Amino acid sequence: MIIVPAVYIFFLGVFTIFQSRRLWIGQDKREALICALSMTLSAIVGMLLIAEVELPTFVLPYKIVFEPIGKLILSP
């Protein structure tokens, strides 16, 4: 089970290094840093999803806020 996330990280890392080096050589240093940061974040999330780790959802705060309002509106 550890092989699939490791292969995913390896290929994504190689892709990110080549892409960042291309941007860095082209004097787009800010874009290279943003690209590397976003790819790192997506690699972490992707690896956790491949490993079937339960991630928290962004819906929960909205549910906490709007569920009582909806129940107030819909209650007889």
Instruction: Quick: pLDDT tens for 10-68.
Output: 898 888 888 888 888 888 888 888 888 999 888 888 888 888 888 788 888 888 899 99
Give the whole-angstrom CA distance, residue 36 versus residue 19: 8
For 69, the token pair is 């309002």
pTM of the complete model = 0.62
* Amino acid in the structure at residue 19: Q
How many independent structural domains does the chain possess? Answer: 1
Classify burial at 20, counting beta carbons within 10 Å of its beta carbon; exposed 0-12, middle 13-18, buried 19 or more. Answer: buried
Expressed as residue numbers, the domain containing 55 is 3-74
Asked if 39 and 12 count as a contact pair (C-beta separation under 8 A), the reply is yes
What pLDDT shows up at residue 29? Answer: 84
